[in-house]
Amino acid sequence: MQPLTDRWQQHLSNAISDPAQLIRLLDLPDSLVEPARRAAQQFPLRVPQPFIDRMVKGDINDPLLKQVLPLDAELEPVPGFTTDPLAEMQSNPHDGLIHKYQGRVLLITTGACAINCRYCFRRHFPYQDNKLGPEQWQAILDYIRADSSIHEVLFSGGDPLATPDRRILAMLEDLADIPHLSRVRFHTRLPVVIPQRITPELISALTATRLQAVMVLHANHPNEINQQLADALVPMQQARITVLNQAVLLKGINDEVATLRQLSEKLFAAGVLPYYLFVLDPVAGSAHFDISDSDAQTLIRELQSQLPGYLLPRLAREVPGKPSKTLLSLD
């Protein structure tokens, strides 16, 4: 039997990057190939087979397909949509480190992702300037150690779980030596896309130190949550790792009350609590996914009338320069 670790890494390395191959696999019209190739020159296609397996063949409007298929619309400049919509470069004190909010810092652990989501707010991020080598890692540790107000470290990317388990463990052990840290949080889409990523070695790494671990998944549509993912999450929950989900509100994908309700229900059935529902970050190339704040608020108000409070995600946006996420009022 093939080791579990090799299986997720194999899916990662074999992710499809050729639009023609994806379109052929899903029995879609050949007319989609050239527009997809044009858009992929700016931001490559990347999608692994376990995620493709949840798509409906022949359905050009499949909600999972629409999150990953490059379109000509991405090439149209739209006022207000920029390459750094969250002004992260203004909060980048060291390579690989972003410090925007009091009490916590964010690590750009890798530029690698399992999947290239077309709405990604870091699709233009200069990962080549934020590589986390030994020298950069030591500078980050020194920065955190010198600021006793920092209590939590967020692992981000790219996708932090593209990092090998042994490297994650080594980083957590280094962080655990800093007395004022109490929590680590991993923001990841990889287990949703490749459920095999949740390995015994990963769970062992997350529970090996005194630091409390939180896993924030990223699923936008109920079709992303299958039995394989639910089964993979069980040992993580048994290890008392808190598992949350954040989603992005996307036009034509999850901008209906019934879809959002089913997403919350399926998340909870898999032991995951809804956390945030973000309105779209205005990143260049993603304007075709945008919906208005008023429409978003209407959706959440209706959702609030159909769900208990613990299944209602907080509607929010990230505003550059603000000291925290900005919640959108439902009044």
Task: Extract the tokens encoding 155.
Answer: 């692992």
Give the domains, in start order, of the chain with CATH numbers: 4-75 (no CATH), 88-327 (3.20.20.70)
Q: Where does residue 61 fall: left (phi above 0), alpha (psi -120 to 50 degrees), or beta otherwise?
A: alpha
Amino acid letter, residue 250: L
In this structure, what are the phi and psi dihedrals at residue 119, rounded to the nearest 5 degrees?
-95, 5
- CA dist 163 and 87 (Å) reads 25
Phi-psi region of 87 (alpha: psi -120 to 50; beta: other; left: phi over 0): left
Task: Give the DSSP per-residue string, 75-134.
Answer: GS--TT-BS-TT-GGGG-SBTTEE--STTEEEEE--S--S---TT-TTTT--GGG----H
Q: What is the pLDDT along the chain (331 residues), one digit of tens a residue?
A: 344 445 899 999 999 999 999 999 999 999 999 999 999 999 999 999 999 999 999 999 999 999 999 999 999 999 999 988 887 777 788 888 999 999 999 999 998 999 999 999 888 887 777 788 899 999 999 999 999 999 999 999 899 999 999 999 999 999 999 999 999 999 999 999 999 999 999 999 999 999 999 999 999 999 999 999 999 999 999 999 999 999 999 999 999 999 999 999 999 999 999 999 999 999 999 999 999 999 999 999 999 999 999 999 999 998 888 888 999 988 7
Contacts of 102 (CB under 8 A, 6+ apart): 149, 323
Helices (H) and strands (E) in the chain, counts: 12, 9
Please state, in angstroms and rounded to a whole number, the distance separating the CA atoms of residues 313 and 311. 6
